[in-house]
Structure 1
Amino acid sequence: MGKLATIARRSFLIGSAAVAGGVAFGIYKVRQAAPNPLLDDLPPGAVALTPFVRIDGQGVTLITPRAEMGQGIHTTLAALVAEELDVAWDSIRVEHGPPGAAYYNRALVEHNVPFSELDQGLAAEAMRGAMGAMAKLLPMQITGGSSNVADLFDRMRAAGAAARFALVAAASPKLGLPAAQLKTDNGSVIAPDGRRLSYQELAAAAAGIELPASPPLKAREQWRYLGKSMPRVDMVAKCTGTASFGIDVQLPDMVFATVRMNPAKGAALVSSDASAAKAMRGVLKVLDLPGGVAVVANNTWRAFQAVQAVRCDWAEPTYPASTQAMVDAIVASMTEKNQDSRLRDDGNVDKALSGDKVLEAEYRVPFLAHATMEPMNAVAWLHDGQLDIWAGVQNPTAARDQAAQLAGLDASQVRLHVMLMGGGFGRRLESDYVAQAVQLAVAMAGQPVKLTWRREEDMAQDFYRPAAVARLRGTTAAKQVSALDVQVASLSVVESNLGRLGLPALGPDAKIIEGAYDQPYGIANYRATAYRTPAARPVSYTRSVGNSYNAFFIESFIDELAAQAGADPLDMRLALLSHEPSRQVLSAVAALSGWGQPLPAGRGRGLAFHLCRGVPVAQVVEITTTPRGVKIDKVFVAVDVGTALDPRNLEAQLQSGVIFGLSAALYGEISFAQGAAEQSNFHDYPVLRLQQAPQIVVKVLESGGAIRGVGETGVPPVAPALANAIFQATGKRIRELPLRRHVDFV
C-alpha cells in the first residue's frame, strides 16, 4: 500500500471513529465548556471557582483528577495550579475530585492515532484534532499512557491563573484600588500599602466574576514550584500509615464480601452448590454472579473461607485453553487475512532483503499479569435513592456510568469517591470489580458492602497483557542497517477493552505495533506490519502496552545486526538517528555508563534505545556473570522530557519503570491450562527482590520541547538492554522472555 493510500485509509477510519464518538454534533459542541462538576455537591460555605479550585473556610483545595497510584501525579498536578494561583505549598489540600466531563483526557486519545509522536504533518495533526474532540465529547477521564502532564500542563495552569484573576478582581473594590495595582502571594491579595485580603475572604465575591478564557501565565523564570523537586502531598500520610486506600474504607454497619469466578475468564458458571458455605460462621448471603459466585459475611476472612467452600461447575472457555494453543493462534494469525496495519513501509524492503546476507529471527513474549500490590476492591452502598462507591479506578466516568446502569439509577445519583490505589499499571482501567460491588450493594440494599478479592482471585481474573510473536528480517551494509522488516502478531487490547465499554474498535490497533513502526531510525528500507489475532481470552492495557514487547524485539534485533556487521551498537544507533533529542539521550547514557571502556572478563554491558509516548530514552545495563547466575549491577538511564517539572519525581518514576521492566524481563509469565492461569501469587509469579535490585543512575535532559510524562517510559528499554548485556558477556543470544528460561539470576 502506498503512503498516500495508507494515510487515506487512516483518515477514513479515524474520521469514522470521531463521528461515532460525537464529533458530528458540530464544532460548537467541541468548543462548549464542560460544566464544573464541583458545583453539584459543594459543602456549605464552599466556592468552586474552576473545576480545579475549591475554597472554603479551611483554605484552598486543589482538584487533581487523575488516579494517584504511587507515581506522584497529585503532587505535580497540584503544583501546576498552585504555581499560578499563588498559594503556599504547605497550606493546600489535594483531592482527586468527582468524575466529570471537565476532566477529559485529550492527550491520551491523541496519542492513539496511528502516527509516530514525532510526525507533525498535516494528516497526523488532523487526526489528533479529531480524536481529541472525541475525547471531550465522550468524555474520557482516564489515567494512563503517560499522558497526565501532557494533557493538563496548560489547562491546570490556566485554571489557577483564572481563579487568581477572579480573586484579584473581587479584591479590587474592597481595597479601593485597580486590579493592576494588586499583587498576590501565599493565598492573599496584597495592596501596595501592605493591606491584604485572604482568598477565603474573597471567594464568595470571586465566584460571581466571569473568568477569562485564556489568562496570562507565568514565564518559566517566574516559576516558584514548577521545575523544582516538590514535597509529595501524599508522603506524610503514606509514611505514617494514615493514607486511605480503597481497601482501607470502613463504614458503619458494613458487610464484607468476596467473589470466586470461573478461572477461565469470561466463561460461565454452569451450576453451584453453596450449602456448605451457607452453614459457615458469619456468612450472611451467597449470591450467583455472571460467571461466578459471591459470599457476603460479617468479616473479610470469613468471606474468603466460605467462597472456597462453594462447589462450582465451570463451563469450558470458547477460546484456546492452553498456553501452546494460545501461542499457536498468535502465530497462525500472521497471514494477509489478519493483517491489521502496515504503518511504516519505506523504500523497497523486499528488494533490499533479496541478497544472501539477510538475518532472520523470531522473538516471543508471554502473557503478563499486572500484579498490583493492592488487590482489586471496592465499597458500594445503595441508600436513600443514591449509590456511593469508594474505589481506586483509572477510568472513573466509565466506572460511574456502568454502576448507574447496574443499579438502575441515573449517573447523577451515583457518587464515586476515587481513592488512592496500591498500583494500577492499567489494571484499574477496567471496572469489573466495581460492577461486582454494585451488584452486591443492590442485593444488600441499605448496607455498605466492602468487596475484596483474594490475591489468588486477583491473579486469576486479571486482564493480562497479551503474548506476542515477532518475525524480523534485516541486513547491513558498511556497518549500517540498510533494511529492516518487522512483523508482529498479538491480540488487540483496544478491541478487547472498548468492547467491554460498549464502544466499537474502528480502524487499526496501533498498540500491537507501537514501538516498532514509530522509532526514529532512518533506515532506508523499513517496513512494520501488525497482525491481529482473533479475539480470545480478554486482555487489556499494561504499563507501556505494545512498547513493552516491541522494544525487546527491535532493540535486541538491532544488536544482532550490529554484531553481524561488526559495528559498535552505540555507533550504529547514533548513525541511524536523525532526531536530535534521541541522539542526545544516547550520547548521555554512553557518557554516564562509561560505554566503550573495557570491562573485566565475566562482565558485560548492553544498550537499548526507545521512543515511548514521544519521549526518547536510552538505557545501559551492566551485569556480572557468577557461578550461581547473572547479577545485574547497574542500570543507567538518560531521558529527555522536554521540560522537567519535578526532577526528583521524574527520577523516581524512571527507577520504578526499570524495576517493573526487570521484573517482567526476568520472571514475568502467565501460562494456562484449561483456560485458567497456572500462577496464583507472588511465589509463582515473582517480582524483583530487594537484594537483586541494581543501582539505577538517572540523567534527565531538557530539550525544551513538548511537555511529556514518564510513567511508562522507563519500562521498554530495560529488557533488551539486559538481553544485549547477557550476549555481550556470554555470547548467548536470547530471543524470548522471561529470561529465566535461559539464564539463572542472583
Structure 2
Amino acid sequence: MSECHTSRRRFLQAASAVPAAFVLGFHLPLAKAADAPAHDPDDINAWLRIDADGSVTIMVPSAELGQGVMTSAPMLIAEELECDWKQVRAELAPTDPVYNNRMFKVQATASSTSARWSFEPLRRIGATAREMLREAAAQGWKVPVAECRAVQGVVRHEASGRTLGYGALAARAAALPRPASVALKDPRDWKLLGRPTDRLDIPLKTRGAAVFGVDVKVPRMLVGSVMACPAFGGKLHRVEARPALAVRGVRRVVPLDDAVVVLADSYWTARKGLAALRPDWKLPQGEPVGDAALMAGYREAARSASALALRNGDPDAHMQAGQAYTAEYEVPYLAHATMEPMNATADVRADRAEIWGPTQVCGEIAHRLAPVLGLPAERIVVHSTFVGGGFGRREEFDVFLQAALASKAAGQPVKLIWSREEDIQHDFYRPAAAARFSAVLAPGAAGIRALDARLACSSIYIRNFPDRVKGGVDPKSVEGVVDLPYALPNVAVRHAMVNTAVPVGFWRGVGYTQNTFFAESFIDELAHHARTDPLQFRLRLLAERPRQADLLRRLAQQAGWGGAPAGRFQGVALSQAWGSLCATVVELSVRDKRITLHRIVNAIDCGTVINPATVERQLEGASIWGLSAALSGVITIGDGRVQQSNFHDYPLLRLAQTPRFEAVLVQSGERIGGVGESAVPTLAPALANALFAATGERIRSLPLARHGFELA
C-alpha cells in the first residue's frame, strides 16, 4: 500500500532509460529533497503520464466517493488532449498541494465542487499537453505546427499524411517549454464531454481490485475496535484492561481521553475483547440532554429568531399591513450511516507517521494530527483510498486521531474500524432544526408580497470555521432560504443559533436539506391558500427568472404534470444550490397511509453536463438518500446519548421500496454547477406536497413514519 514518490529531477533522470513518457513529479514523503519541485498546479507532469505504448494515465485530484469523479476528471483532460479514451487509465492522486481544490485552497472533496473547480483547469492541462505533442511532432518533421493535427492519440501532418503516436512523441514533448496560453475547444467540437461514458472505477470495484480503507494492509499491523463514552461530553475515568487481555489474540488496551481502544490480531477478536471491558465513564455534569427538550428549544428559538441573515425591501411593513399566513416546521437529527464503516490505518513512529484511509479532506489530516502526535506536518504522509460513502462524514478527523494515538501507544501500525453501533451513536449529525414562515400574498393571489422566515438550529461552522459565523448567523444554517430561486420583492430571513451538546456536521445537502423542505412546503401551502396550482404559482414567482422557469416547465412536461392517472397524485419542489438548479416531481398513491411511489422525476440544470450517465445516477442516489431520510430517518436523544444503534432502528430505503426514476438534463451553457447533492433537498418537500394532494394532510415535520405513513 505504501506509495513511493520521487522528486522531479530524479524522475527525469530515470526517464532517460524510458524516453517515451511524460513524467510525474512529487516531493519525497518524509523529508523534502533539495531538488523537490515547487508546487505548480499547472505542471502537466503532475497530472498525466503517456507511456511508450500510447496509454495515458491521468491523476484524479478528488476523493472517489462513488460520485464518479474518477471518470469525470479524466474526461476533462482527455477531451482536450485528443487521446484515445480506450487507452486512458485513472489513478487517485497522492496528497500534495498541487492537487488542491482551488475553491477551498486545500485538497478536499466537498460541497459538490469537484467538477466546479476543475472544469477549466483540467481542460487546460489536457490542452497544454496536446499543444506540446503537436510542437514535438512539428519539430521532428521540421514543418509548421499549424500543419499538425492531434486526434485519437496521434499527431497527423495533414499535407504528407505522416503520423506519430503520442507514445513516440512523449519524450520530446516533455523536454519542451510549457506554452504560456492555450486555446480550449469549442463545446460544439467536444467528442467525449457531454456523452454517456462508462465509469473507469467500476471494473476495479467489481473485481475487487479497488482498495478501500478497510482493505489496507500494512506489515505488523494490529486491528483495533473502539468504544467511546456513550454520553455527549463524557470522558474515560478508568478501565481495567485484564478482561480484554485475557481474550486470545488481544494484544493491547489503549485508553484515550473519551474512549478505549482494543488492539488485536483481527477485528472480531478486538470486538470480543472490547465487549469484555467495563469502562468507568466520567459523565458531564448537569441535566442530560433529551430529544423533547431539545426540539422544544428549537421551536421557541425559531419564533423569536433575531439575527438578520437577509433583508430585501421592507418586509416588516408589508407583513403588518396585510393578512399573514403562518406555518411552523421541524426536522430531526440525522446520521450519515456510510456503507463502508468508519476506519483509518496509522503507522506512527518517533520521527514520522504514515496514514491511510477513506477521507474527503486528505490535505488537512497531517495538520490536524501534527500537534497531537508532536510531529511536524511535513513528516506525516497521508494516503487516500477509495471511499465507501462520504456524505460529509469523511470530512471529520476523529477516527484518524484515534488510529494515530493507538498506533503511537502500541508502537506499531494500527487499523482502527468502528462498529455500526459506534458509527450511529458517535456521528456528527445533520442538525435538527425548526422554522417559522409567514407571508402576505400579493393582490389577486398573483404572488408573494412579503415573506418572513425565522430559522433555528445548531451551527456547523462554529466548531471548525468560527470566522465564517458573522452577526450570529451561520451561513450553512440559512442556505436554501437566503438564496431562494424566486424573485420576491420583500424578504427577511432571521436565524437563531442554538448550540447544544449534540455534535453536528456536514451532511449530504447540509442546510439545504432542512430549509428547502421548510421553504418549498410553505410555497405549496401558499399556492393552496391562493387556490392556485402549485406549479403555476411557482411559475408566477419565476416571471423574472427565465432559467428557473424553463427548468420547471421541462420537468412538468416530462412528469406529465396535471395528467397523472386516476388515483395518483403529484408534488413538486425547486431549489438552487451549488451552482445548479434542481426540481423534483414525486408521483404517488396512498391507501390506508401506505404509500406507493410510482415515479420520481428529477430535472437538473448544472450548466454543463460532463457525463450524462453519472449525472443521472447521482440524481437517483441523492433521491434514494433523501427518501430514506424523509420516510424514516431520525436520531433521538435520551439521557444525553443517542438512542438508535444500527439499521434495525435507523432504517435505510430497501431495493424493493425503490421507485422508478426519470431524469431531465438541461444543458444551459451556464457556469458549471454541482450535482451530487442537488436532488436531496427537493425530495422531501416534493414527497410531502404529493401527500397533501393525495390526502389533504399537510406534513410539517419529518420523518413521515411519525405521521403513520409507510411505504407499501
Is the pair's TM-score, using the shorter chain for normalization, greater than 0.5? Answer: yes
Out of 548-557 and 315-324, give the one that drifted further: 315-324
Q: CA deviation at 1:698?
A: 0.7
Take 1:494 and 1:317, find their aligned partners in 2: how far apart are those partners?
24
| Cα shift readout 1:395-418 (whole Å, capped 9, x = no counterpart) | 111112223443333333332221
| Cα shift readout 1:538-577 (whole Å, capped 9, x = no counterpart) | 2111111100011100111111111111111111100001
* Aligned counterpart, 1:324: 292
Within the candidate set 68, 71, 74, 1:72 is matched to 68
Q: CA deviation at 1:390?
A: 1.7
Instruction: Decide whether the 8 Å contact of 2:252 with 2:410 is kept in 1.
Output: no
Instruction: Decide whether the 8 Å contact of 1:316 with 1:675 is kept in 2.
Output: no
Take 1:405 and 1:92, find their aligned partners in 2: how far apart are those partners?
41
* Aligned counterpart, 1:262: 229
* Aligned counterpart, 2:56: 60
Q: CA deviation at 1:184?
A: 2.5
Within the candidate set 565, 568, 577, 1:612 is matched to 577
| Cα shift readout 1:200-228 (whole Å, capped 9, x = no counterpart) | 44444433433234311111122121111
Task: Tell me if 1:235 matches 2:231.
Answer: no
* Aligned counterpart, 1:149: 115
Q: CA deviation at 1:504?
A: 7.1
* Aligned counterpart, 1:589: 555
Q: CA deviation at 1:339?
A: 4.2
Take 2:97 and 2:587, find their aligned partners in 1: how far apart are those partners?
47
* Aligned counterpart, 2:631: 666
* Aligned counterpart, 1:565: 530
* Aligned counterpart, 1:373: 339
| Cα shift readout 1:5-26 (whole Å, capped 9, x = no counterpart) | xxxxxxxxxxxxxxxxxxxxxx
Amino acid at match of 1:544: G
Instruction: Decide whether the 8 Å contact of 2:77 with 2:123 is kept in 1.
Output: yes
* Aligned counterpart, 2:23: 47
* Aligned counterpart, 1:624: 589
Q: CA deviation at 1:585?
A: 1.3
Take 1:331 and 1:536, find their aligned partners in 2: how far apart are those partners?
17
Amino acid at match of 1:644: V
* Aligned counterpart, 1:126: none
* Aligned counterpart, 1:96: 92
* Aligned counterpart, 1:128: none
Task: Tell me if 1:472 matches 2:468.
Answer: no
Out of 55-64 and 527-536, give the one that drifted further: 55-64
What's the TM-score, normalizing by structure 1? 0.86
| Cα shift readout 1:463-484 (whole Å, capped 9, x = no counterpart) | 1111011011112231232221
* Aligned counterpart, 2:31: none
Amino acid at match of 1:362: E
1:273 partner SS: coil
Instruction: Decide whether the 8 Å contact of 2:302 with 2:435 is kept in 1.
Output: no
Counterparts in 2 of 1:375-454, with a 5 A limit?
Answer: 375-382=341-348, 385-445=351-411, 447-454=412-419
Counterparts in 2 of 1:722-733, with a 5 A limit?
Answer: 722-733=687-698
Instruction: Decide whether the 8 Å contact of 1:274 with 1:311 is kept in 2.
Output: no
Out of 365-374 and 605-614, give the one that drifted further: 605-614
Take 2:156 and 2:233, find their aligned partners in 1: how far apart are those partners?
61
* Aligned counterpart, 1:174: 140
Out of 192-201 and 649-658, give the one that drifted further: 192-201
Take 1:436 and 1:298, find their aligned partners in 2: how far apart are those partners?
18
* Aligned counterpart, 1:246: 213
Take 1:313 and 1:554, find their aligned partners in 2: how far apart are those partners?
46
* Aligned counterpart, 2:28: none
Counterparts in 2 of 1:632-651, with a 5 A limit?
Answer: 632-651=597-616
Instruction: Decide whether the 8 Å contact of 2:303 with 2:454 is kept in 1.
Output: no
Q: CA deviation at 1:263?
A: 2.0
Amino acid at match of 1:47: V
For residues 693 and 311 of structure 1, do their structure 2 counterparts lie closer, same or farther at Cα, with a shift above 3 Å needed?
same
Take 1:530 and 1:38, find their aligned partners in 2: how far apart are those partners?
51
Instruction: Decide whether the 8 Å contact of 1:475 with 1:561 is kept in 2.
Output: no
Q: CA deviation at 1:340?
A: 4.2
Out of 474-483 and 649-658, give the one that drifted further: 474-483
* Aligned counterpart, 2:37: none
Take 1:83 and 1:386, find their aligned partners in 2: how far apart are those partners?
40
Q: CA deviation at 1:39?
A: 4.3
Task: Tell me if 1:212 matches 2:179.
Answer: yes
Instruction: Decide whether the 8 Å contact of 2:342 with 2:418 is kept in 1.
Output: yes
1:422 partner SS: coil
For residues 579 and 247 of structure 1, do their structure 2 counterparts lie closer, same or farther at Cα, with a shift above 3 Å needed?
same
Task: Tell me if 1:531 matches 2:496.
Answer: yes
Take 1:356 and 1:643, find their aligned partners in 2: how far apart are those partners?
43
Q: CA deviation at 1:599?
A: 4.4
| Cα shift readout 1:87-130 (whole Å, capped 9, x = no counterpart) | 222222212212222323234xxxxxxxxxxxxxxxxxxxxxxx
Amino acid at match of 1:374: E
Let me know the Cα RMSD of the aligned residues: 2.4
* Aligned counterpart, 2:261: 294
| Cα shift readout 1:514-544 (whole Å, capped 9, x = no counterpart) | 0011113222222111221135322111111
Within the candidate set 695, 699, 721, 2:686 is matched to 721
Instruction: Decide whether the 8 Å contact of 1:491 with 1:534 is kept in 2.
Output: yes
* Aligned counterpart, 2:19: none
Instruction: Decide whether the 8 Å contact of 1:339 with 1:532 is kept in 2.
Output: no
- Structure 1 gaps of 5+ residues are 1-35, 108-134
Q: CA deviation at 1:265?
A: 4.1
Take 2:468 and 2:555, find their aligned partners in 1: how far apart are those partners?
42
Take 2:425 and 2:263, find their aligned partners in 1: how far apart are those partners?
20
Take 1:195 and 1:449, find their aligned partners in 2: how far apart are those partners?
57
1:645 partner SS: coil
Q: CA deviation at 1:385?
A: 4.8
* Aligned counterpart, 1:119: none
| Cα shift readout 1:404-446 (whole Å, capped 9, x = no counterpart) | 443333333332221111100000011211122222222233x
Instruction: Decide whether the 8 Å contact of 2:334 with 2:430 is kept in 1.
Output: yes
Take 1:214 and 1:541, find their aligned partners in 2: how far apart are those partners?
38
- Structure 2 gaps of 5+ residues are 16-21, 25-43
Task: Tell me if 1:491 matches 2:467.
Answer: no
Query: Percent same amino acid among aligned pairs?
Result: 39
2:680 partner SS: coil
For residues 155 and 456 of structure 1, do their structure 2 counterparts lie closer, same or farther at Cα, with a shift above 3 Å needed?
same
Take 2:681 and 2:529, find their aligned partners in 1: how far apart are those partners?
24
Instruction: Decide whether the 8 Å contact of 1:341 with 1:531 is kept in 2.
Output: no
2:365 partner SS: helix
For residues 624 and 404 of structure 1, do their structure 2 counterparts lie closer, same or farther at Cα, with a shift above 3 Å needed?
same
Take 2:463 and 2:500, find their aligned partners in 1: how far apart are those partners?
7
1:389 partner SS: strand
Take 2:121 and 2:275, find their aligned partners in 1: how far apart are those partners?
49
| Cα shift readout 1:701-745 (whole Å, capped 9, x = no counterpart) | 111111112111011111011111111111111110111100321
Task: Tell me if 1:542 matches 2:542.
Answer: no
For residues 88 and 384 of structure 1, do their structure 2 counterparts lie closer, same or farther at Cα, with a shift above 3 Å needed?
farther
For residues 561 and 301 of structure 1, do their structure 2 counterparts lie closer, same or farther at Cα, with a shift above 3 Å needed?
same
Task: Tell me if 1:347 matches 2:342.
Answer: no
For residues 254 and 199 of structure 1, do their structure 2 counterparts lie closer, same or farther at Cα, with a shift above 3 Å needed?
farther
Take 2:355 and 2:68, find their aligned partners in 1: how far apart are those partners?
24
* Aligned counterpart, 2:240: 273
